[in-house]
Structure 1
C-alpha cells in the first residue's frame, strides 16, 4: 500500500513538472521504477500506459488554456509515434542485465542535457512567430519517440528544448504542443510494449496509481506553466535525474563502484547541482530586474510625449 501511495505521489509530482516544463514525467517515473528494481522494459511499458491517460488530460487542459499549436502537434506527433513503436519493440528484445544500465545511461544523458540547456542558456525569445517546418519537426519527432521508448522518457527532454532553442514558438505553446502530441507517442509505445512483452509483464495497479496522480496534476500544471520560471525548474529536474541515474549506473555490473567512489561522485554531483540551481536563480532574477527597468524607462519616456501632445 505504501508503494502504491508513493507511486501516486510520484505520478502527481512528475505531471506537475511535465505539464509546466514540457518534459520529465516519463524520465522521473521510470527512474523511480528502476530504483525499486523493476524490469526496464516493464518500467517503460508501465509509464507509457499511464501516460495515455495523463497526456490526454494534460493536452485537454493545455488546449483550454490556449497553449496548443495544432500544426506542430500533427507535424511532430505522427513521426514520434512511429519512433516510439520502434523503440518499444527494440527495448523489449533486450535482456534485463543489458537494458538496465543502457536505460540509466540514456536517462543520465537526458538529465545532463536538461541541466545544461536550462542552466546555461535559458529560453530564446527573439525569433517568435517564424514558422516551424516539417523537415525540422518530423526527424525530431522520430528521434524523440525512439528515445522516449528506449529510455523510459525522452519525448519532452528531446523535443521541448529543441523547439524552445529555435525561438519560433512561445514557451507555453511549446510545452502545451509537446504535451498534447505525447498522447500519440504514449499510445504507439504502449502497443509496442504489449506486443513485445505481453500484458502479463505489466503491473496494472502501478499503471492506475501513476495515472491517477498524473490526471489530478494535469490541469494544475497547465495553469502553472504561465507562472513557474522554466529555467529554474529545468535545472532542478535535470539535477535530480542525473543523481538518481548515476546511482543506478555506479551500482550496475558495468561499473560496480566501491562505496568510497560512489559517495565521492554523489558529493560532486550534489555540488554541481547546487551551483547550477544558484546560477539559474541568479540569472532569472537578473533578467526579471532588467525587464522591469526597461518597462519603467519606457513608461517614463512616454509620459513627456503624452504631456506635450496634451
Structure 2
C-alpha cells in the first residue's frame, strides 16, 4: 500500500508539473519506475496507460480554461500518434539489459534539454500570433511521439519547447494544446505496447495509482499554468531528471557503487542547485523589468490624462 500511495503522489506531482509546464509527466514517472527496477518497456507502457486518463482530464481542464488551439492539437497529435506507435514497437523488441541504459540516456538528454532551456533562455514571447505551418507541426509530432514511446516520456519536452521557441503561440495555449494532443499519443503508444507485449509486466495497480494522482492534479495544473513561473519549474524538474538518470547510467558502468559515483552525483546536484538559483534570480529580474516598463507607461500617460481633464 505505501508504494501505491507513493505512486499516486508521484502521479499528482508529475501532472501538476506537466499540466502547468506542458511536459514531464512521462519523464518523471518513467524515471521513478526505472529507479525501482521496472522493465523499461513495461515502465513506458504503465505510464502511457495512466496517461490515457490523465491527458483526457488535463485536456478537458485546459479546454475549459481556454488554453487549447484545436487546429494545433490535430496537426501535431495525429503524426504524434503514428510516431508513438512506432516507438512502442521498437522499445518492445529490445532486451531489458539493452533497453535500460538506452532509456536512461534518452531521459537524461531530455532532462538536460529542460534544464538548459529553462535556466538560460526562459520563454520566448515576441512572435505570438504568427501562424504555425503544417510542415513544421507534422514532423515535430512524428519525432516527439517516437521519442515519447521509446523514452517513457518526451512528448512535452520535445513538443512544448519547440512551439514555445517559435514564439507564435501564447505559452498557455502551447501547454494546453500539447497536453490535449498527448491523449492521442498515449492511446497509440498503449496500443503498440499491447500488440508487442500483451499485458506482461504491467501492474494495473500502479497504472491506477498514477492515474488517480494525475486526474486529481489536472484541473489544478490547468489553473496554475496562468500563474506559476515556468522558468523556475523547468529548471527544477530538468535537474531532478538529470540527477536520477545520471545515477542510473553510472550503475551500468565501472563507477557504479564506488565513491566516484557519489562524487559525480554531488557535482551534478550542485549544478542543479545553481541552475535553480539562477532561474529564480532571472525570473525576478524579468518581473522587475516588466513592472518598471508598466510604471513608465503609466507615468507617460498621466500628463496626457491631466491635460485632457484641464482642457
Q: Please, what TM-score do these two structures have when normalized by structure 1?
A: 0.98
Q: CA–CA distance in 2 between the matches of 1:10 and 1:63?
A: 24
2:200 is paired with a residue whose SS is helix
Match of 1:104 in 2: 104
Match of 1:230 in 2: 230
Aligned residues of 2:123 and 2:165 also touching (Cα < 8 A):
yes
**Correspondence for 1:265:** 264
2:294 maps to: 295
Residues 146-180 of structure 1 deviation map (CA, whole Å, 9 limit, x = unaligned): 00000000000000001000100000000000000
* Distance across 1 between alignment mates of 2:294 and 2:161: 28
Deviation at 1:202, TM superposition (A): 1.2
Aligned twin of 1:15:
15
Listed one character per residue, the Cα deviations across residues 170-200 of structure 1 (whole Å, up to 9, x for unaligned) are 0000000000000000000000000111113
* Cα shift at 1:260: 1.5
Residue aligning to 1:173: 173
Contact 1:55 1:182 in 2 (8 A): yes
Question: Do the aligned partners of 1:250 and 1:256 also contact (CA within 8 Å) in 2?
Answer: yes
Shift of 1:201: 2.4
> How do 1:72-111 and structure 2 match up within 5 A?
72-111=72-111
Measured against aligned partners, the alpha-carbon deviations of 1:175-233 in whole angstroms (never above 9, x if no partner) come to: 00000000000000000000111113211111011000000000000000011100000
CA distances 1:122-164 after superposition (whole Å, capped 9, x unpaired): 0001000000111001000000000000000000000000100
1:168-207 matches, cutoff 5 A: 168-207=168-207
Structure 1 CA distance for aligned equivalents of residues 29 and 258 of structure 2: 26
Report if the CA contact (8 A) 2:85-2:191 is conserved.
yes
2:243 maps to 243
Give the deviation of 1:255 after TM superposition. Answer: 4.7
Give the match's secondary structure for 1:139.
Answer: helix
- For residues 294 and 10 of structure 2, what CA distance do their matches in structure 1 show? 40
Q: Structure 1 residue 307: deviation in Å?
A: 1.2
Task: Give the superposition deviation at 1:256.
Answer: 4.6
Map Cα deviations across residues 231-285 of structure 1 (whole Å, 9 max, x no partner): 0000000000000001100002x45535211111111111111111111101100
Asked if 2 retains the 8 angstrom alpha-carbon contact of 1:62 and 1:176, the reply is yes
**Gap runs ≥5 in structure 1:** none
- Distance in 1, matches of 2:126 and 2:167, equals 6
How far apart are residue 35 of structure 1 and its match? 0.4
Structure 1 residues 24, 255: closer, same or farther in 2, change over 3 A?
A: farther
Aligned mates of 2:92, 2:256 — CA distance in 1? 28
Contact 1:24 1:156 (C-alpha < 8 Å) held by counterparts? yes
Moved over 6 A (4+): none
Indicate whether 1:211 and 2:211 are aligned: yes
Given that residues 249 and 255 in structure 1 are in contact (C-alpha distance below 8 angstroms), is that contact kept between their aligned partners in structure 2?
no
Are the aligned partners of 2:114 and 2:238 in contact in 1 as well (CA < 8 Å)?
yes
Q: How many pairs were matched up? A: 309
TM-score (norm: length of structure 2): 0.98
1:1-39 CA deviation, whole Å, 9 max, x = no partner?
111111011000000000000000000000000000000
Which residues of structure 2 form unaligned runs of 5+? none
Match of 1:201, SS state, is coil
SS in 2 for 1:199: coil
Q: Report the RMSD for the aligned CA atoms in angstroms.
A: 0.8
